[in-house]
Amino acid sequence: MAKCSRLLTKARQSASNLRFDEACQLAECYGFELARERGSHRIYKAPGVRALVNLQEVKGMAKAYQVGQLLALIEELESDKGR
């Protein structure tokens, strides 16, 4: 779990500096499962979450806006756990 918290901290500090494989690991840390993979795109889904997470690799890096969307969903999941 320490690796997950490090990845979350890194993503929050700079979404544009998160590698694609790190973004995928972060999604999996928070219960997202790979739904499908097509080319440079990986689509993740999580039980109880209506939105899908689309992550795209560009030169080894994840797109910053997609990391931002993932962070928003993670925050939503964390706030639901606190209720």
Q: Which two tokens stand for residue 52?
A: 């899908």
**pLDDT at position 37:** 94
82 has pLDDT over 70? no
- The tens digit of pLDDT for each residue in 4-52 reads 999 999 999 999 999 999 999 999 999 999 999 998 899 999 888 889 9
Statement: the pTM of the whole predicted model exceeds 0.85: yes
**pLDDT at position 80:** 75
**pLDDT at position 3:** 92
Assign a CATH topology to domain 2-82.
Metal Transport, Frataxin; Chain A (3.30.920)
- Cβ neighbour number for residue 6 with a 10 Å cutoff: 12
Q: Span 56-76, mean pLDDT?
A: 95
Yes or no: say if 75 and 32 are a contact pair by the CB < 8 Å rule.
no
